Amino acid sequence: MHSLNTKTRALLGGCCLAMALALQTGVASAESVLRIGMTAGDIPRTLGQPDQGFEGNRFTGLTMYDALTQWDLSSAEDASVVIPGLATEWSVNEDDQTKWTFVLREGVTFHDGSPFDADAVVWNVQKVLDEDALHYDASQVGVTASRMPTLRSATKIDEYTVELTTSEPDSFLPINLTNLFMASPAKWQEFFDGASGDDTAKAAAAWDAFARDASGTGPWIMESFAPRERLELVKNDDYWDAGRVPNVDRLVLYPMPEANARTAALLSGQVDWIEAPAPDAIAQIESRGFVIHKNEAPHVWPWQFSRIEGSPWNDVNVRQAANLCIDREGMRDGLLAGLMAPATGAVEEGHPWRGDVTFNITFDPDEGRRLMEESGFSAENRLSVKALTSASGSGQMQPLPMNEYIQQALGECYFDVELEVLEWNTLFTNWRQGAKDPASLGAHSTNVTFATMDPFFALVRFLQSGMAAPVSNNWGYINEPLYDELVEKARRTFEPEARDAALAELHAASVNDAAFLYVAHDVSPRAMSPNVQNVIQPKSWFIDFSPISIEE
Amino acid sequence: MLVYLAKRLAYTVPIVFSVALVCFMLVHLSPGDPLISILPADASVELEQRLRIQYGFDRPLPVQFWIWISNALSGDLGASIANGRPVLSEVLQAVRNTLLLACTAAVLGFALGMFFGLVAGYFRDSWIDKLATSIAIAGVSVPHYWLGMVLVIIFSVQLNWLPAVGAGPGNWSWTWTHLQYLVLPAVTMAVIPMGIITRTVRALVGDILSNDFVDALRAKGLGEGRVFLHVIKNAAPTAIAVMGLQLGYLLGGSILIETVFSWPGTGFLLNTAIFQRDLPLLQGTILVLALFFVFLNLFVDMLQAMIDPRIKRG
């Protein structure tokens, strides 16, 4: 065996070092970037409590922040349910059911390095509920407090235990808490101390600065922020859940409110992923090798019936007949090019709140006509109904064509439907005014879509009599003692499975009674480049960006 | 000239006040709740009432207007309801982007419009005139948002030469990295002013050429080039007035073009503010744009008076 001389060894060593350096440089420069075009017109707020509905939570909430509880987004098939987040366990006080104990996850730090502990939880509750707190911020209250209506305060028990107090016994609290994101008190204090003016001015300046240089505990860290233009996040290598450390190095978010602009940006390679592509461009997008992801979303596109005196929808036969006279599959495959899922309730089979539904909502116009005849209507004696809707609006899908489709379908079942089209904000505001308000123009139904992530938003606010206008969204003044009883039962049942069973009873009762005209669920379509891999689109408004990778 | 300037400045005071009042009233009279962007429809009545008080929307409209106009006079346009950021900085950032787009489109549109207008007017009824007039008619007739989409499909989606949306990464620089983002929206935006200027200048040149003084100039032995210069000088006041109005429209930002190209200017800002019912942002943006228009008109009037002494005498 020949031994290498010193010069040769030095040369080889040098070559190896150079190759290693070159490889390392190559690896360092090959940063993976995921660029997303959002439907929002501006970057949703970044200071912890995002605006712009669930799209805000999706992009600037769940990316940079965590909450005490979180949604399980790991499956495309199963219903998305609440799982532990920054709290590992929780329980209600048996003697006083308005008090909850939450045990916090240890060893979690904010992006600025400060620890997450009970003080941080108390501080984050105070930011939206304690008007006397220095860091109370009215601008974050609306989007937060309304999503956890019974939470009142938080008290530190020890470093990793907090007690939360509600205004009344409320088993929905752990679900509501998915909306309270934990921002870093230390980072905010740093900005506060560096600001000038009186305390109010300093607090406002601190929140403004925090929004530009945010700090949460989430899997993504804010790197740069240009209002209305872009938000750049980089992966948090030290994320507390090792299984959810992002695969992609950088996530860049662009506001692109116009559907055709988003589609063009995707097709030209300017972004890798767009939310809600233009429906009429789906075929072209797919023909060019891009991929459409969609799944049934927790969303309902309904007609919400007026149940005030004199409303034709007070007759259960009429409500059931309407539900049987719509060919939802036809609407899906024809009108909406596959971008909807037929709705047969607020939630579908497999969801823990579905329950024992006996009224099978399907396309059966013969049975629909029979029910109408039973109530005295016929081809000669038709029933006139007036329906409110909008020409556009958040979550409304394609309201005019869909309503015209329904108008035509119900026409086959002895209905004469008059559509009253309102401007979206007017319709939305009227949702709280109720069917009796003059702004409802004597309509017998309204058509505002809603999310069903949470039992209060999915069921309670429409079905409980106490939620009638102007308190909440029981637009039609539904007043069914059975519903009220089941709502109370669900709210006071704290064991999660039993609570879900109570909610299932409520849901089944409302579907069997045809409380709504259930039409469609949105499917949250998103289009992306074939390079985007490992996408799991759950049955949720949210999606986990951590497992996603970019294939070169 | 100073008296004329003082008079014109004095006129702007009631105009600005009226503009502020009208934009405040229009925004408040339009349907929808101003708290809609921060308060879901399912929020409790107590919470809604609390926030209404905290934001001052519970006060009578005249009081709200007085507070707003007083703050605006001291340069404080309030904070956006939706994102909490100061309105003034939001508007100024958007104005910078719109200025960039509008000025580029104006230079392009005015230069082409002048060229086509002069050529068409000078060679009236020739094939050159017909071609230039056709281009002008197409310019004012084609919906510019449609043209924008077509340009995006051709140059971004099919040819992949230019980016489809946005204003480019980071702060603006006069390099290709950013300029490429400007090309399509600026061309789209330039089409209408080009058409209008072409038609205006063509008509002016035609009229001026039929005047006796043009024959007199020629009779005195002036070359066609010098005659043409006189024609341009006579056409200038009206052409400048039209350009001023067009520049005002361009600076107002085009909601459609800026939305189609996701260009972060005033049009894009207005679009977002309208959909979010963000009243302070909407009022602030409209006020700033209206002031732009008022002062631009003032500037154009001054310029006209400088060029044509008959105007200030009038």
If pLDDT is split at 50, 70 and 90, which confidence band does A482 have? Answer: very high
Q: What DSSP designation does A243 have? A: G
CA A190/CA A385 separation, integer angstroms: 60
If pLDDT is split at 50, 70 and 90, which confidence band does A28 have? Answer: very low
DSSP string of A469-505? TTTSSBTT----HHHHHHHHHHHT--SHHHHHHHHHH
Interchain contact B149–A (C-beta under 8 A): yes
Asked whether the predicted pLDDT for residue A15 surpasses 50, the reply is no
Are B149 and A227 in contact (CB < 8 Å)? no
**Mean pLDDT score, A123-143:** 91
From chain B residues 80-119, the ones with a CB under 8 A of any chain A CB are 81-86, 90, 93-94
Asked whether the predicted pLDDT for residue A75 surpasses 50, the reply is yes
At A532 the pLDDT is 96
At A487 the pLDDT is 95
Closest partner residue to B153 (CB to CB) among A42, A147, A264 is A264
- Across chain A, mean pLDDT equals 91
A551 or A519, greater pLDDT: A519
At A313 the pLDDT is 98
Q: Which residues of A touch B43 (CB under 8 A)?
A: 142, 145-146
Reported as half-sphere exposure (CB side, CA atoms, 13 A), residue A36 has a value of 25
User: A470 preceded by cis ω (within 30°)?
Assistant: yes
Neighbour count for residue A321 (Cβ, 10 Å)? 28
Closest partner residue to A229 (CB to CB) among B79, B167, B261 is B167
DSSP bridge partners of A142: none
- ipTM summary value: 0.76
- β-strands A273-275, A33-38: how paired? parallel
Q: What is the dihedral of CA A238, A243, A246, A247, to 10 degrees?
A: 120
Amino acid identity, residue B40? Answer: P
Cβ pair A394, B41 in contact under 8 A: no
What are the domain boundaries of chain B?
A: 2-73, 90-313
Token pair listed for A382: 């038709």
Helix spans in A195-230 (H):
199-212
CA A211/CA A60 separation, integer angstroms: 11
pTM value is: 0.83
DSSP string of A387-432? EEEESS-TT--SHHHHHHHHHHHHHTTTEEEEEEEE-HHHHHHHHH
Interchain contact B147–A (C-beta under 8 A): no
CA B307/CA B243 separation, integer angstroms: 15
Triad A294, A299, A304: Cα angle to 5°: 145
Query: What tens digit of pLDDT does each residue of A164-199 get?
Result: 999 999 999 999 999 999 999 999 999 999 999 999
At A27 the pLDDT is 43
How long is chain B?
314
Closest partner residue to B36 (CB to CB) among A141, A428, A471 is A428
**Mean pLDDT score, A493-522:** 96
Q: Evaluate whether the domain defined by B90-313 bears CATH number 3.40.50.1820.
A: no
Interchain contact B31–A (C-beta under 8 A): yes
Distance, CA of B263 to chain centre: 14
Gap from A545 CA to chain B (nearest CA, Å) = 23
Q: Which residues of B touch A439 (CB under 8 A)?
A: none
Closest partner residue to A146 (CB to CB) among B39, B156, B268 is B39
Q: Which residues of A touch B86 (CB under 8 A)?
A: 208
Closest CA to A421 of A403, A405, A437, A442: A403
Gap from A470 CA to chain B (nearest CA, Å) = 7
Asked whether the predicted pLDDT for residue A514 surpasses 70, the reply is yes
Relative orientation angle of helices B87-122 and B176-209, to the nearest 10 degrees: 40
Amino acid identity, residue B126? Answer: S
Neighbour count for residue A251 (Cβ, 10 Å)? 24
Tens place of pLDDT per residue across chain B (314 aa): 778 778 878 888 888 888 888 888 877 777 666 776 677 666 777 777 877 887 788 888 888 888 888 888 888 888 888 888 889 988 988 989 998 999 999 999 999 998 999 889 888 888 988 998 898 888 888 888 889 999 999 999 999 899 998 888 878 888 898 999 999 999 999 999 999 999 998 998 888 888 888 889 888 888 888 888 888 888 888 888 888 788 877 876 678 888 889 899 988 888 888 877 788 888 888 888 888 878 878 887 888 777 776 665 55
Cβ pair A540, A76 in contact under 8 A: no
Those residues with Cβ within 8 angstroms of residue A15's Cβ, 6 or more apart along the chain or in another chain: none
Q: Which residues of B touch A260 (CB under 8 A)?
A: 149, 152, 260
Those residues with Cβ within 8 angstroms of residue B42's Cβ, 6 or more apart along the chain or in another chain: A146, A456, A457, A461, A472, A473
Q: Which residues of B touch A143 (CB under 8 A)?
A: 38-40
Are B83 and A270 in contact (CB < 8 Å)? no
Q: Which residues of B touch A437 (CB under 8 A)?
A: none
CA A452/CA A469 separation, integer angstroms: 20
Asked whether the predicted pLDDT for residue A3 surpasses 60, the reply is no
How many CB pairs lie under 8 A apart between chains A and B? Answer: 159
Asked whether the predicted pLDDT for residue A525 surpasses 50, the reply is yes
Gap from A281 CA to chain B (nearest CA, Å) = 12
Q: Which residues of A touch B157 (CB under 8 A)?
A: 264, 267-268
Are B42 and A146 in contact (CB < 8 Å)? yes
At A21 the pLDDT is 45
Neighbour count for residue B269 (Cβ, 10 Å)? 32
Classify residue A464 as exposed, middle or buried by CB count within 10 Å of its CB (0-12, 13-18, 19+).
Answer: buried
Largest CA distance in chain A: 107
Q: Which of A143, A191, A260, A433 should we substitute to test contact with B (largest number of B Cβ atoms within 10 Å)?
A: A260
Q: Which residue of B has its CA nearest to A262?
A: B165
Cβ pair B163, B111 in contact under 8 A: no
Are B51 and A41 in contact (CB < 8 Å)? no
Instruction: Report helix, strand or coil for B231.
Output: helix
Gap from B39 CA to chain A (nearest CA, Å) = 5
At B32 the pLDDT is 65
Closest partner residue to A425 (CB to CB) among B36, B54, B93 is B36
Those residues with Cβ within 8 angstroms of residue B51's Cβ, 6 or more apart along the chain or in another chain: A138, A141, A142, B35, B38, B39
Q: Which residues of B touch A428 (CB under 8 A)?
A: 32, 36, 41
